[in-house]
Amino acid sequence: MHVISEKKLREFWKSHPDAETSLRAWHRVAEQSVWHSFASLRETFARADQVGRCTIFNIGGNKYRLIVVIHFNREKIYVRHLLTHAAYDEGKWKEGCTCP
């Protein structure tokens, strides 16, 4: 899969250094994987969730949330949001994520 954009990951871990190791690991696995559906993604990331068109990953022991939109047919992952768990719980991310 091709992750767009790694820059967002780097910017996040600059302000949250404890997320860097987990984000780098997620990025490495995502770039080396080819998923054809959410079900095949769950074989790799069993705790990933789907909300509307968005896929949510727990990062850093559930301290952070990575919110992406995945186009399985194009093998593209679009990073939409990286949030602390508290910011995620506010739910504002749904508006910009085109989730219902």
In which residue are the tokens 């790694």 written?
6
In which residue are the tokens 């509307």 written?
52
Q: Is the pTM of this model over 0.95?
A: no
Domain range for residue 58? Answer: 2-96
Tally of structural domains, the chain: 1
Cα–Cα distance for residue pair 42/16, rounded to 1 Å: 26
In which residue are the tokens 């593209």 written?
76
Res 61 pLDDT > 70: yes
Q: What is the CATH number of the domain that holds 49?
A: 3.30.2310
Res 78 pLDDT > 90: yes
